[in-house]
């Protein structure tokens, strides 16, 4: 049995990501035990989460967006998802505020239990065309 700190180290994730993975993929009592904020994970649960992480890494979450206009919140822009052909809100870094209108950008599509969000992939090179 591994505590939260050891499980985070084994998976290479932070505490919040570990809890999101736990809530989405593991069963209480079978894969982990203890309090909700301080669970103990089984070795099988850690292996299951490693497989899920590898599967998610192989999927390409980076998509191409065309920026339409700025949103009410300056850190977001309205953009068109070129794959789905629909308007979405995308989080951008502060250095790009007011500079992306009409440009194509690469963004990460993040799918979670609460919905789909988009974040400019500023860690990648050559984001702006």
Helix then strand count (H, E) for the chain reads 3, 7
User: How far apart are the C-alpha atoms of 12 and 74, rounded to whole Å?
Assistant: 32
What is the reported pTM?
0.52
Sign of torsion, CA 16 127 124 96?
negative
* Architecture of the domain made up of 62-120: Beta Barrel (2.40)
Please say if the pLDDT value at position 128 is more than 50.
no
User: How far apart are the C-alpha atoms of 95 and 5, rounded to whole Å?
Assistant: 35
What are 74-102's pLDDT values in tens digits? 999 999 998 889 999 999 998 899 999 99
Please say if the pLDDT value at position 60 is more than 50.
no
CB distance 90 to 128 below 8 Å: no
Please say if the pLDDT value at position 125 is more than 60.
no
- Of 85, 81, 87, nearest in space to 63 by CA: 81
Please say if the pLDDT value at position 104 is more than 90.
yes
Q: What is the DSSP letter of 2?
A: B
Q: What is the pLDDT of residue 129?
A: 44
Q: Which phi-psi region, left, alpha or beta, contains residue 102 (left: φ > 0; alpha: ψ -120 to 50)? A: left
Which range is most confident: 38-42, 87-91, 108-112, 115-119? Answer: 87-91
User: How far apart are the C-alpha atoms of 100 and 111, rounded to whole Å?
Assistant: 24
């Amino acid at each position: 049995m591994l505590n939260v700190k050891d499980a985070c180290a084994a998976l290479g994730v932070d505490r919040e990501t570990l809890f999101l993975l736990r809530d989405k993929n593991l069963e209480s009592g079978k894969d982990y035990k203890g309090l909700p904020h301080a669970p103990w994970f089984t070795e099988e649960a850690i292996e299951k989460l490693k497989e899920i992480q590898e599967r998610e890494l192989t999927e390409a979450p980076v998509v191409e967006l065309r920026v339409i206009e700025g949103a009410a919140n300056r850190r977001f822009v309205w953009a068109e998802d070129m794959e789905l052909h629909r308007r979405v809100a995308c989080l951008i870094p502060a250095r790009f505020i007011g500079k992306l209108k009409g440009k194509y950008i690469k963004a990460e599509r993040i799918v979670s239990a609460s919905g789909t969000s988009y974040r400019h992939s500023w860690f990648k090179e050559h984001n702006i065309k």
